[in-house]
Amino acid sequence: MDKLVIRGGNRLVGTIPISGAKNAALTLIPCALLTDEPVTLRNLPRLADIDGFQHLMTQFGVSVAIQGGRPEDFGRVVTYEATRLTSTVAPYDLVRKMRASILVLGPMLARAGEATVSMPGGCAIGNRPIDLHLKALEAFGAEIELAQGYVKAVAPGGRLPGGEFDFPVVSVGATENALMAAVLAKGTSKLFNAAREPEIVDLCNLLVAMGAEIEGIGTSDLVIHGVDRLHGATYRVMSDRIEAGSYACAAAITGGDVRLEGASAHDMASTIHALRNIGIEIDEDKNGINVRAPGPLKATNLTTAPYPGLATDMQAQLMALLCKAEGTSVLKETIFENRYMHVPELNRMGANIETEGRTAIVKGTDVLTGAEVMATDLRASMSLVIAGLAAEGETTVRRLYHLDRGYERLEEKLQLVGADIERVGDD
């Protein structure tokens, strides 16, 4: 198994291209199930999760055609064509590794009138039940049965009638599934207290490009007028706001000066606000953002929240940055209850972090030291890389399969701006 070896201390300077968003792409790919015409996605990141989802799509009879491109290029163009569905079952072996697999439930139900999907897996960062997915689909007229680790959903008469659902708490995945289910319903469906993340907007924009009728895009109240059929489309995946925020933290902790080409400042406003409070200078333009750390890092208090609040997917990376800040910072995690698994690993590198429930207290330190550390989930692994870039000596990060799920060729991008980092085979 590969590992990353980082020799810290280099100031990051230069340009990093930002890839297409993993969290958006995993929602856009299943849209191909909604039509018998080709759906082409541009700017699709080369990630293990994308490859896994594409394997799942072929299980249903979807053809996947990857257009030519140089191996050294970031991103690619992929066309999905579901001319005829050969299966409506998403088996355990394919679903267990990736929680996003549950997102085939809504579009499969809408297109085929039935779907059987294994209960999903993914990062072990806390309890992430799918009950809201199922309740929303039931509100739209689906009949749901749970048996032997599978969800079986049926649209009586072969097509959902539509309906209304008010989310008791904001859920990104459930909003996405409900949207894809509603676009082919017989009537009008309404979602209240829906998630507003940029990835939801990206999904709505693709669905509209395919012929869907959706009102309220970008708000918490969505009205979906069901149509008889959707057609194909070509669509560019939005840039990855979490990847951009991660590299911003990497630049900042090294006192660097980095341009994040393709990053959208609008989509990552809460992260930019947090970075500015820490003392980072950020300049925005229509093609990206510039990140510069002119002086000492300052402690701050942060609380994760649904969009437009601070993304939980940025918590670990900002925590790593605050390990080098002057003073004491307090972080509160409100989304997932088990998202501090990176804390013991950061403490092994000389950080001073204490946790109590969903609160973490970070006392800044002058020196981080290299160590052997182990990634526990996707964003936690990036926090260890960020700390390693600023640490004295050598840091070894193991379990890279977490990183490969969400960061396209991470070590190559960091090498572009001067990081001493390499991927090596385990002894």
Dihedral-angle region of residue 137 (phi above 0 means left; psi in -120 to 50 means alpha; beta otherwise): alpha
Which range, of 94-103, 134-143, 171-180, 189-198, averages the lowest pLDDT?
94-103
Give the 3-state secondary structure of residue 303.
Answer: strand
17 cis-preceded (ω within 30 degrees of 0): no
363 labeled part of a ligand binding site: no
CA 198/CA 91 separation, integer angstroms: 30
H or E element in which residue 404 lies: helix 401-406
Q: What per-residue confidence (pLDDT) applies to 367?
A: 96
- Amino acid residing at 109: L
Distance CA 170, CA 222 (A): 13
Q: Residue 47 has which token pair?
A: 């990630």
Round the CA-based radius of gyration of the chain to a whole number and report it.
Answer: 21
Q: Is residue 73's pLDDT more than 90? A: no
pLDDT score of 376? 86
Instruction: Give the three-class secondary structure for 187.
Output: coil
Whether residue 128 is predicted with pLDDT greater than 60 in this model: the reply is no
Q: Is 386 annotated as a binding residue?
A: no
Return the residue matching tokens 């008791």: 168
- In this predicted structure, the answer to whether residue 424 has a pLDDT above a threshold of 80 is yes
What does the alpha-carbon distance between residue 257 and residue 268 come to, in Å, rounded to a whole number? 19
Q: What is the DSSP string of 64-85?
A: EEEPP--TTSS-EEEEEE-SS-
On whether 130 is known to bind a ligand per the annotation, the reply is yes
Residue 202 counted as an annotated binding residue = no
Binding site annotation covers 131? yes
Is residue 99 a contact partner of residue 177, using CB atoms and an 8 Å limit?
no
Q: How far apart are CA 231 and CA 234, in angstroms?
A: 11
| 76-81: strand order across its sheet | 63-66, 76-81, 39-44, 233-236
pTM of the model: 0.95
Does position 301 have pLDDT exceeding 50, yes or no?
yes
> Could you write out the three-class secondary structure of 111-135?
HHCEEEEECCCCCCCCCCCCHHHHH
pLDDT of residue 125: 35
Please give the pLDDT value at position 338.
73
Size (the chain), residues: 427
Domains and CATH numbers, the chain: 2-19+239-425 (3.65.10.10), 22-236 (3.65.10.10)
Residue 192 has pLDDT above 60, yes or no: yes
Which has the minimum average pLDDT: 33-47, 61-75, 313-327, 357-371?
Answer: 61-75
Instruction: Answer yes or no: is 207 a known binding residue.
Output: no
Structure confidence at residue 124 (pLDDT): 42
Mean residue pLDDT of the chain comes to 94
- For the record, the structure tokens of 266 come out as 């609008």
Rounded to whole angstroms, the Cα distance separating 421 from 91 reads 38
Looking at residue 68, its pLDDT comes to 65
Question: Hey, what are 280's tokens?
Answer: 């980072």
Rounded CA gap, 330 and 46, in Å? Answer: 35
Percent helix / strand / coil, the chain, rounded to 5: 35, 25, 40
- The reply to whether 129 sits in an annotated binding site is yes
Could you give the 3-state DSSP secondary structure of residue 132? helix
- Helices (H) and strands (E) counted in the chain, each on its own, are 14, 24
Active site residues: 123
Dihedral sign, CA of 95, 97, 99, 104? Answer: negative
Residue 118 β-bridge partners = 150
- 281 confidence band (pLDDT: 50, 70, 90): very high
Residue 132 known to bind ligand: yes
| 329 residue type, one letter | S
Q: How many CB atoms are closer than 10 A to CB 228? A: 8
20: left (phi over 0), alpha (psi -120 to 50) or beta: beta
Residue with tokens 């291209």: 17
For position 198, what pLDDT does the model report? 98
CB 367 within 8 A of CB 350: yes
